[in-house]
Amino acid sequence: MAEREFDVTGIGNAIVDVIARADDDFLAREKIAKGGMSLIDEPRTLALYDAMGPGKSVSGGSAANTIVGAQALGAKAAFIGKVKTDEVGKAFTHDLRSTGVHFATAAAQTGPSTARCLVLVTPDGERTMNTYLGACQNLTEADVDEALIAASKITYLEGYLWDPPAAKKAFVKAADIAHKSDRAVALTLSDAFCVDRYRDEFLALIRDKKVDIVFANEHELKALYQTADFDTAAAALRDEDILGVVTRSALGSMVVTRGETIAAPAFPIDQLVDTTGAGDLFAAGFLAGLSRGADYHTCARLGALAAAEVIQHYGARPEKNLLDLARENGLA
């Protein structure tokens, strides 16, 4: 049970990432679609792990990355996600709690092992993810802490969570609890392949007002509205009459409401190393600002700052002190 008010609580897949370099030929040989996320079973996970090059293991999961970033920017953050009581699950739990994030979801004693994501990074910095959901699929309504959601200014829901059927009910339950407590609900579309799988359901969540804030990159937004034209997709989002936040890589971001559109630039970087977690950390900065009452442009700049930090090294968790970076750039 929550003992204090939280700024942001994320609900998502609790995953440990294994990140390795790969070239386009390797992706072709393994018949992997570049740039997206594919769900794989445990035998395929073991086979691909054996075939890929040396990897770096780091706790991940899209919403968990966002929550860690928000906590690093001074927000009070919490996470709900399912691991098993295996070594990988223990590592995930330790890593998350060590950042100061509140994480109290009961670990599974039996069933599938803790989830892993094999992330292949090509020389252009693009990441391709192959995910074994494992214990994540066992997240249920019983894991949703009603007091925690009610105590959180914003509940942040991961689009990937729509894959495991049992988690959908948990997703909707959390949204209903948040709204009954006059709290906000945010949804990230996660990736274009995820949108293709659940387009109608995501649109229903938006139009039925289950969510108040939507995060997407431009590819996900175009997939949602089935158009190749960005302006057409942005106009469709504007008509939904919600808070839309759209990232556009080097072009920066756009904040879209019924009444206004606000553009914010990307932060300059020295070198692009790995785009894993760019959207996650952008959402972290935006939510950290929003939960503290910052204006939309400042929120977008905080997001851009956090994203710029994470794409300059391997892994989807920040390595530099984000709060110090924010202060240095007048965004604290």
Roughly how many angstroms between the first and final C-alpha of the chain, as a whole number?
30
Q: What is the pTM of this model?
A: 0.89
Number of domains in the chain: 1
Q: What is the pLDDT of residue 290?
A: 98
Q: What is the pLDDT of residue 301?
A: 98
CATH number, domain of 155, equals 3.40.1190.20
> In whole angstroms, what is the distance from residue 197 CA to residue 192 CA?
9
Q: What is the pLDDT of residue 285?
A: 98
Listed as ranges, residues in the chain with pLDDT below 70 are 1-4
Q: What is the pLDDT of residue 298?
A: 97
Q: What is the pLDDT of residues 50-71, one digit of tens each?
A: 999 888 888 889 999 999 999 9
Domain membership of residue 257 (yes or no) is yes
For residue 152, give the nearest of 6, 28, 293, 295 by alpha carbon: 6
Q: What is the pLDDT of residue 163?
A: 80
Q: What is the pLDDT of residue 197?
A: 93
Amino acid at 193: F
Q: What is the pLDDT of residue 218?
A: 96
Domain membership of residue 109 (yes or no) is no
Q: What is the pLDDT of residue 1?
A: 43
Cβ-contact 103, 78 below 8 angstroms = yes
Cβ-contact 305, 276 below 8 angstroms = no
**Residues of the domain holding 161:** 6-13+62-103+137-328
Domain membership of residue 311 (yes or no) is yes
